[in-house]
Amino acid sequence: MMTNKPVDSASTTTIELSTIQPIPLNERHGKPQNLFTIWFGSNIMLLTVITGALAVSIFHLSFLWATVAVLIGNLAGGLFMALHSAQGPQLGVPQMVQTRGQFGSYGSVLVVALVVIMYIGFLASNLVLGGQSLHAIYAPVSINMGIIVSALLSLVACAFGYNLIHAYTKVMSWVSGFILVAAFVWIIFVTGLPANFLARGDFNLSGFLGAVSIAALWQLAYAPYVSDYSRYMPKDISEKSVFWCSYLGCVLGSLFPMILGILVSVCIGDGDLINGIVNMTGGLSSTVIIVFAVGIAATNAMNLYCGVLCTLTLGQTFFPKWSPLSGARIAVSIVTVLIEVLIAIYGQENFLVNYTNFILMLLYVLVPWTAINLVDYYLVAHGNYDVASFFRRDGGIYGYFNSKAIFCYLLGIIVEVPFMSTAIYTGPAATMLGGADISWIIGLAVVSPVYYLLCRTQPAVQVSSVKS
């Protein structure tokens, strides 16, 4: 007879069997602090450092203004990330499966497909940085070979699944955290900062808002999969604890590497950031780069894992009787990695410009979704969903399409257009603001109340319980 007693989760070397299925209550395990380490450890890597450096290299801010911008962006964006994290223990399914509860079974396909594209972008970006970093500390290893090594490390962790990824990032929290502190100490007290360090760069409104947006998006980009790493937690776990552990882990783990990127970028000017880190950390450089490169593999494993879950979600939408297990996850992981390696190898030129444009475009399609999801979960459904309906072709009580959610999603993108500011297109409102991009604020401000007003009177859902 099955009970609600959690299973022993001590083994991290056992391959996870489940993929997108609801997690039974007797398989729930973990503590809120596990969410701190997974988000803290996974963020201390080179891509986070690169993202912080954009405040100087792209937006031309001084150290102080760049630091204030990424602080505000992380604090604001982290709120949305953590609110999504708290959904995992309550529903026990991946975030993109739960999206069917807002958009309907077929209506969610567009959003899930866009999230898969997001994973492709971040995976390729991380692989490029992994290859560049390994080449920087050991020249005989080519960038392409470094890309392949990073991809293989990510693939192994993804193949074993949830528990190994949690264990991996827990170790990286301590190792990467220590190395990050050591890098700051070495750069400031051993290498030393330029005499005019604080005078370099200045304040400009468009650059400041751009840097805030980039940091906020860094947090918002976790929203489509943050609950994938809390869905095994016990259902009766404190939602506040899940929120705060996720929030603090992700904000702190992101903020300090970004500040390191700002620090180095101010010092080196237009130079190569990775070479700048190597030169400024001196005798510690090999250790710093190796640890940050391993951190990339940990984060890529998370991106790969959740990207595969999204791909399986798409497949299950059209083949509802299919219940993919570990074999399907591993097979899709291998195919995905092969695609990512090709993209990384052939797309590594002009990496910084391509990455900046990619994350700005990502901002425009993620914001309306996160507004709809959070308003629906917390204000409309109050966390009560018919999980069984998520896995039906016709969407069960949610139907094939939810016209209200789709309308609000498209509305969000439309109202963002005048406020967009990219290398491809700058809207009239952004032009009036001197090129400042506040589209994500407009998207949230419009979509959230409109969706709530349209959906607040819908009837309560009879919740179908997860099997114990």
Q: What is the DSSP string of 175-214?
A: HHHHHHHHHHHIIIIII---TTGGGSSB--HHHHHHHHHH
Q: Residue 326 pLDDT > 60, yes or no?
A: yes
Q: Residue 435 pLDDT > 90, yes or no?
A: no
Q: Residue 307 pLDDT > 70, yes or no?
A: yes
| 146 belongs to a structural domain | yes
* Residue range 384-407: mean pLDDT, rounded: 93
* Residue range 283-308: mean pLDDT, rounded: 86
* Residue range 220-237: mean pLDDT, rounded: 91
| 282 belongs to a structural domain | yes
**In degrees rounded to 5, what are phi and psi of residue 426?**
-125, 120
pLDDT in the model for residue 3: 41
| 289 belongs to a structural domain | yes
Question: Which CATH number goes with the domain that contains 97?
Answer: 1.10.4160.10
Residue 12: which pLDDT band, with cuts at 50, 70 and 90?
low
Domain of 266, in residue numbers: 29-352
Is the whole model's pTM more than 0.85, yes or no? yes
| 377 belongs to a structural domain | no
User: Above pLDDT 70, what percent of the chain?
Assistant: 92
pLDDT in the model for residue 457: 73
Cβ neighbours of residue 447 under 8 Å, at least 6 residues apart? 367, 368, 371, 372, 375, 408, 409, 411, 412, 415
Tell me the pLDDT tens digit for each residue of 17-73.
889 999 999 999 999 999 999 999 999 988 899 899 999 998 899 999 999 999 999
| 341 belongs to a structural domain | yes
Contact (CB, 8 A) for 166 and 32: no
Exposure pattern of 330-355 as b/e (b: 16+ CB <10 Å)? bebbeebbeebbebbbeebeebeebb
- Listed range (287-301, 343-357, 372-386) with the worst mean pLDDT: 343-357
Which is higher by pLDDT, 463 or 261?
261
Separation of alpha carbons 447 and 148, rounded Å: 41
* Residue range 104-126: mean pLDDT, rounded: 86
Tell me the pLDDT tens digit for each residue of 166-192.
998 999 999 999 999 999 999 999 999
| Domain total in the chain | 1
| 400 belongs to a structural domain | no
Contact (CB, 8 A) for 364 and 413: yes
| 222 belongs to a structural domain | yes
| 436 belongs to a structural domain | no
